[in-house]
Amino acid sequence: MNKTTQLVWLATFFTMACLSARPATAAKYKVIDVTDGGTIEGVVRWEGEIPKRSILSVTGQDKPCHVKPIKDEELVVSNDGEVRWVVVYIKKIKQGKPFDFDPKKPVTLDQKGCQFSPHIALVGKGQPLSILNSDGVLHNVHLYAKKNEPFNRSMPGDMKKMDVTFDYSERIRVGCDVHRWMSSWIVVAKHPYYVVTGADGTFRFEGVPAGSYTVEMWHEKLGKQKTEVTVTSGAEARVEFVLKQ
């Protein structure tokens, strides 16, 4: 193998290596005018004895960390058995309504009382996420991203906000290297048919084009479930997920 051939081979090798390191390109979601839309609504329920939330072990001298006990938010179930912090989405939907970004209501992930709020921040690709520091103490925001750029930045007490955006859809675990008990998630949505359940465990998708779909849910401790649903124009389709220990 002569020197020229070696250089060509090496250039080809490094080019292929760089391409393989990039996230796979998924089919693009197409925005359309939804004229035959229907609705999917549902709830995530718990089966069995309601689990009790533990109190996290808080260390250090930072005063905001000791204002009140900090409860674990990994699994939150209401007294009536509804599950909070579950991400529900329509899987592999190819077209539908546009993202509805409201610049007057930016998505935020706050650090308040040495706890992330909300526990799960839902943001669209390219939509700004404002990370806040309401505590006025040193935090370190560590995003364990796999598809997007790695992110690990300090936020001194006088730094109140920093904005980030994401190019790829993924679930990103968030931690603070200063306060190890702090934990949350950022979910970067592929399309607008994503939602996070609230305290009542419910979810709702409006403006869904008529057709058959797979609705999937994800919970950080209990994994995924999915079900099939058919949407008809002007009608509501019901979905229910049941979780247990």
> How large is the average pLDDT for residues 166-180?
97
Q: Are 114 and 64 in contact (CB under 8 A)?
A: yes
Q: Encoding tokens for residue 26? A: 């998924």
Say whether both 165 and 243 belong to one domain.
Answer: no
Whether pLDDT at 224 is above 90: yes
CA-derived radius of gyration, the chain: 21
Q: Give the total number of structural domains in the chain.
A: 2
Full residue range of the structural domain in which residue 159 is found:
102-190
Q: Which residues pair with 215 in a beta bridge?
A: 90, 227
User: Could you give the CA distance from residue 86 to residue 188 in angstroms, rounded to a whole number?
Assistant: 14
Token pair 């204002």 is found at 67
Say whether both 107 and 173 belong to one domain.
Answer: yes
> How large is the average pLDDT for residues 12-21?
44
Binning pLDDT at 50, 70 and 90, where does residue 24 land? low
> How large is the average pLDDT for residues 183-210?
97
Predicted local distance difference test score (pLDDT) of residue 110: 98
Least confident of 13-22, 131-140, 203-212, 232-241: 13-22
Which parts of 22-76 fold into alpha helices (H)? none
Say whether both 212 and 235 belong to one domain.
Answer: yes
Q: Are 37 and 209 in contact (CB under 8 A)?
A: yes
Say whether both 157 and 217 belong to one domain.
Answer: no
Asked if the structure places residue 52 within a domain, the reply is yes
Q: Are 158 and 170 in contact (CB under 8 A)?
A: no
Say whether both 173 and 243 belong to one domain.
Answer: no
Of 171, 190, 209, the residue that ends a domain is 190
Q: Please provide the average confidence, as pLDDT, over all residues in the chain.
A: 91
Predicted local distance difference test score (pLDDT) of residue 26: 56
Q: Are 55 and 174 in contact (CB under 8 A)?
A: no
Predicted local distance difference test score (pLDDT) of residue 158: 96
Predicted local distance difference test score (pLDDT) of residue 17: 46
Whether pLDDT at 20 is above 60: no
Say whether both 112 and 183 belong to one domain.
Answer: yes
Q: Identify which has the larger pLDDT, 199 or 105.
A: 199
The CATH number for 59's domain is: 2.60.40.1120
Asked if the structure places residue 20 within a domain, the reply is no
Of 145, 166, 190, the residue that ends a domain is 190
Predicted local distance difference test score (pLDDT) of residue 101: 79
Predicted local distance difference test score (pLDDT) of residue 245: 85
Asked if the structure places residue 140 within a domain, the reply is yes
Asked if the structure places residue 165 within a domain, the reply is yes
> How large is the average pLDDT for residues 35-49?
97
Binning pLDDT at 50, 70 and 90, where does residue 122 land? very high
Say whether both 93 and 41 belong to one domain.
Answer: yes
Q: 0.85 exceeded by the pTM?
A: yes
> How large is the average pLDDT for residues 136-153?
96
Asked if the structure places residue 3 within a domain, the reply is no
The CATH number for 170's domain is: 2.60.40.420
Say whether both 173 and 244 belong to one domain.
Answer: no
Say whether both 71 and 58 belong to one domain.
Answer: yes
Asked if the structure places residue 137 within a domain, the reply is yes
> How large is the average pLDDT for residues 221-242?
97
Say whether both 92 and 207 belong to one domain.
Answer: yes
Q: Identify which has the larger pLDDT, 9 or 239.
A: 239
Say whether both 110 and 170 belong to one domain.
Answer: yes
Say whether both 180 and 211 belong to one domain.
Answer: no
Asked if the structure places residue 4 within a domain, the reply is no
pLDDT digits (tens, 9 = 90+) for 46-91: 999 999 999 999 999 999 999 999 999 999 999 999 999 999 999 9
Asked if the structure places residue 21 within a domain, the reply is no
Of 164, 190, 216, the residue that ends a domain is 190
